[in-house]
Amino acid sequence: MQDLAQQPGQQRDKGHADQGNAAARDQLLHALALAAGVILSIALQQVDAAPDTQGTAQTDHDCLQSIDCAVEKFHKVLTFCRLFCGT
């Protein structure tokens, strides 16, 4: 007999639980939407600030050529010193 008496109350509680779940769901979805918007804007900002890869590659190439030239000159001077300075 108690089961029959508790059933309407349980059904009534389920209705409140559904409303609470809906409110929690709405809050969660709102927070997730906000987070997705922040992530999207950060990702786009990084794309907009992408470096000029062609210019960077050319600068790196020029720098390596300068270093290679300096090393070559150093080796020539070192060879000259070994031959004529007795070092």
Counted residue by residue, the chain has a size of: 87
6, 41: one domain: yes
CA 57 to centroid of chain Cα atoms: 23
First to last CA, the chain: 111
**What sign does the CA torsion over 70, 73, 77, 83 have?**
positive
Residue-wise pLDDT tens digits, 16-64: 556 667 788 878 777 776 666 655 555 555 555 556 677 778 888 888 8
Question: Is the same domain home to 7 and 40?
Answer: yes
The pLDDT of residue 48: 55
**Domain extent at residue 62:** 52-87
Report how far residue 41's alpha carbon sits from residue 47's, in angstroms, rounded to the nearest whole number: 10
- Give yes or no: residues 63 and 37 share one domain: no
Total domains in the chain come to 2
Regarding whether 42 and 23 lie in a shared domain, the answer is yes
